[in-house]
Homo-oligomer: A and B are copies of this chain.
């Protein structure tokens, strides 16, 4: 949705098939997604997205799009759903875009390529917010981390895509111990608990949570973290190497 469209039809992409990414990050006790604000009148946002080269695996395309947008390597990435309603097209968006940004005017062929109906494959990514360097495209005004509970206006079925991504994330969270990707290298048990509480949107009991996590045998306990506060210093933990 937020890809510059000039020259698209000549770039050897698969037509009518796109990838939409839901990039999850976690900061200050809130779950966030990285989304671009589109560079045209009104308050409209998209999802980081792109297309698939003819010679490219779909998974590889998703990886490339993600890396371009975040300037990170080895991102945790999971395909979760295909969005294929017949009315998914960029016609309305493009009209508005071109009125506001006549300099983006491309060829008729490129325009037609872009405004057709698109089927989109959804991927979600988990990243450490502090390591991401968000990259905009020519049609983005900016790209920002927004709270998952305060999403702006999203083009097309953007909200549905994010909702489905969160659902998939929750389902995978326990199995894959995926929290790994959302935290810094080391963290306290309280920080880990807060992450879980944010993602599942429900409280856990401190002692039982600690027991649960330690029983999983996935954490290494490191030195204590002395914060200067007048209380017992918490241990730092890290996820075990595999």
Contact = CB atoms under 8 A, between A and B. Distances in A.
Contacts of A82: 58, 79, 82, 121
A216 interface: no
A85 B56 CA distance: 7
B14 A119 contact: yes
Contacts of A16: 14-15, 17
A223 interface: no
Contacts of A59: 84
Contacts of A52: 84, 119
Nearest to A81: B79
A172 to B, nearest CB: 11
Nearest to A122: B82
Interface in A40-65: 52, 54-61
Contacts of A17: 14, 16-17, 119
Most chain B Cβ neighbours within 10 Å, of A52, A86, A121: A86
Interface residues of A, number: 22
Copies of this chain, tallied across the complex? 2
Contacts of A15: 15-16
Contacts of A54: 86, 117
A66 to B, nearest CB: 15
A181 to B, nearest CB: 21
Nearest to A117: B54
A138 to B, nearest CB: 26
Interface string A3-20: 000000000001111000
Interface of A: 14-17, 52, 54-61, 79, 81-82, 84-86, 117, 119, 121
13 contacts: A14-B17, A14-B117, A52-B84, A52-B119, A54-B86, A54-B117, A58-B82, A58-B84, A59-B84, A61-B84, A79-B81, A82-B82, A119-B121
